[in-house]
Structure 1
């Protein structure tokens, strides 16, 4: 009997890599392009650490110190870690097991079977250069669809409940952090102002399950290309493989994983709402030659028709909705291969903004 090969679980990332490499070489007259991900030594740093238990200690001084530390980290780093976040370790471990089972499915099943409402994606379909290729696959799932009966989980019946628990738990963390950071800028939800951020609820946010396969072209390839997040806040649970890097003081810094912490990063919308006090920082994932990497990200997003607003006038940005922002980002990526983001929505030109100290 002939032996049949097992169906491939990885997307055809190597084929994309080779095609883009040939394209890059043709554009450069046969000269090999520079590595997409620069193989330079980066400093590994522990992010600022915020203990969320201090917010509920009953001590007003402790709460203020915690809020101040969070605001400082959001302003100076755009990233920080939180502990005592009440997202149980057992739940996160169960999520990782379910995630591993999901990504072990054959590639054809993930791509064509309509799992999780057809939310599967891999690589970068708009890539025109190796610098645009992400060596990864993901399910980017709207929270509203997780519990819907028509959301297809295939044979992974236990995945639905675990995803819902993780989404609910991360949502509570995101809401807590967002409220504290908004309060530090003078937003008083307890004083009659609407809840922050406006337009965000369980129907508008997303849960993204990521897998970064081991990459034979590492470390010269991105697991995820450099970018900023087009949301208010992102809550990330990563494994211990590492690979996340962020831009700090014009240098790439590697984030040291910590098993009991979640990572929080500021998104573009929060930077705009805060009048640039909080920073949406460029970050990336570097591919790993030997080990796959798994992570789960929760994106705090408003409805598409929600105005992003501002913590106070004058704002450097003109009024815009989340839907308008997303459409402009997508148009820019299709047209130029990269995201431009917030500079598109400045009241003054990006050049004038930089002259006034607004950097992106």
Structure 2
């Protein structure tokens, strides 16, 4: 196991040995079941059943920014396959993971230049552009599993996004035309066993810089989200997929739906998850569906550039604050801790 783990303790020795590092306020969070939605009417029904499902999705996205879906059209067999192949990938020796070419240098671990333990993530990931899956013969079974999984989850995410705009009372070709395999991402996450889980996050607090994220996780808990000004712990449900609203949908809906802060607490047990990010092409114009809009118009590229600039200059992502027409960051993210994540999530 040690051979496959990133060298956290060596690379971040000074940070991890800080005698003044405070304990994190993670264990006091209450356990919650996310709203659980049967997605089968959305996929296979018409009329009242489908309409009720659309309203359920809209309500959960307004009240929580998160929900779970079952009967989502992705077989348990495929989910088990992607989990098994993901575990095999992360079990490779650390040196080999760093040098893998199958995903075009997508391997990440730890946090770039964290100033405190609160900004440090005890995790590793392959952050994979779907347009960048190579034809290499390396780990062929994983590549096949990813291709099959992304085809299914991409279709599901499109239907969920369409349901959300339908609930807003509009129709749009935005997702079909702009959120394709050339712009979306898959992130394979592993949270290695952590020797000091009360002092370190598995993944620091952040919001997602996309329209929607669809998450497949294992039975090990750890996901927390902000609800009514408090951190709550999501009870794991391996049979359900978790869906959350991203920053772009908050803008599109003019704050009807909320992009909610979330984080992962570290654990002495190993944890895995797979996240699919519904992202548009770089030149896609992001604007609210009604006036007066709370946000300036911007392209996805401009949003990403702002995120990168924030991380470089102040050490964390400020999210939508820079694109708000007026008002303060407190109204957008009253409890925002600041993420050092510079990618999609």
Per the alignment, residue 160 of structure 2 pairs with 177
The residue correspondences of 1:325-340 to structure 2 (distance < 5 A) are: 325-340=303-318
Which residue of 219, 223, 228 maps to 1:249? 228
Structure 2 counterpart of 1:92 = 79
Q: What is the rounded CA distance, in whole Å, between the counterparts of 2:187 and 2:154 in structure 1?
A: 13
Within the candidate set 27, 34, 58, 2:22 is matched to 34
Is 1:10 paired with 2:13? no
Partners of 2:217 and 2:236 in 1: how far apart?
A: 7
Is the aligned partner of 1:230 residue 2:213? no
- Deviates most, 48-57 or 13-22: 13-22
> Take 2:191 and 2:10, find their aligned partners in 1: how far apart are those partners?
16
Distance 2:140 2:202 in 1: 29
Q: For 2:56, which of 52, 63, 69 is the aligned residue? A: 69
Structure 1 runs of 4+ with >4 Å offset: 357-360
**Is contact 1:186–1:311 with CA below 8 Å preserved after alignment?**
no
CA deviation string 1:45-86 (max 9, x = no partner): 110011111225545222111111110100010000001001
User: What SS is found at the alignment partner of 1:196?
Assistant: helix
How far the C-alpha of 1:102 sits from its partner, in A, is 0.5
Structure 1 residue 284: Cα displacement: 0.4
Gaps (5+ residues) in structure 1? 1-5, 26-30
Alignment partners' CA distance in 2, 1:218 and 1:133:
12
Do the aligned partners of 2:128 and 2:185 also contact (CA within 8 Å) in 1? yes
CA positional deviation for 1:116: 1.3
Q: How far apart are 1:197 and its partner, in Å?
A: 6.4
Residue 200 in structure 1 maps to residue 179 in structure 2 = yes
* Unaligned 5+ runs, structure 2: 337-345
In 1, Cα distance between the equivalents of 2:26 and 2:13? 19
Which of 47, 53, 56 is the matching residue for 2:34? Answer: 47
Q: Find the aligned partners of 1:251 and 1:262 in 2 and give their Cα distance.
A: 23
CA gap of 1:325–1:348, structure 2 versus 1, over 3 A, is: same
Q: How big is the shift at 1:232?
A: 0.3
**Counterparts of 2:4 and 2:58, CA distance in 1:** 42
Q: How far does residue 238 in structure 1 lie from its aligned partner after superposition? A: 0.1
CA contact (8 A) 1:116 1:153 kept: no
Residues 7 and 107, structure 1, Cα contact 8 Å, conserved in 2? no
Matches within 5 A, 1:214-225: 214-225=193-204
Instruction: Verify the 8 A CA contact 1:182 1:196 in the aligned structure 2.
Output: no
Match of 2:290 among 312, 315, 326: 312
Match of 1:161 among 144, 147, 153: 144
- Structure 2 residue corresponding to 1:211, chosen from 185, 190, 209: 190
- 1:264 equivalent in structure 2: 243
Change (3 A) 1:19 1:114: farther
Comparing 50-59 with 111-120, greater Cα deviation is found at 50-59
CA distance in 2, matches of 1:63, 1:50: 12
Question: 1:349 Cα shift?
Answer: 4.1
Q: Give the SS at the match of 1:226.
A: strand
In structure 2, distance between residues paired with 1:74 and 1:282: 13
Q: Secondary structure at the match of 2:186?
A: strand
1:127 Cα shift?
1.4
Counterpart in the other structure of 2:339: none
1:269-348 to structure 2, matched below 5 A, reads 269-289=248-268, 291-348=269-326
CA deviation string 1:120-156 (max 9, x = no partner): 000111312211111000001111122x42xx462x1
Larger of the two Rg values belongs to structure = 1
Aligned length, in residue pairs: 335
Give the superposition deviation at 1:109. 1.0
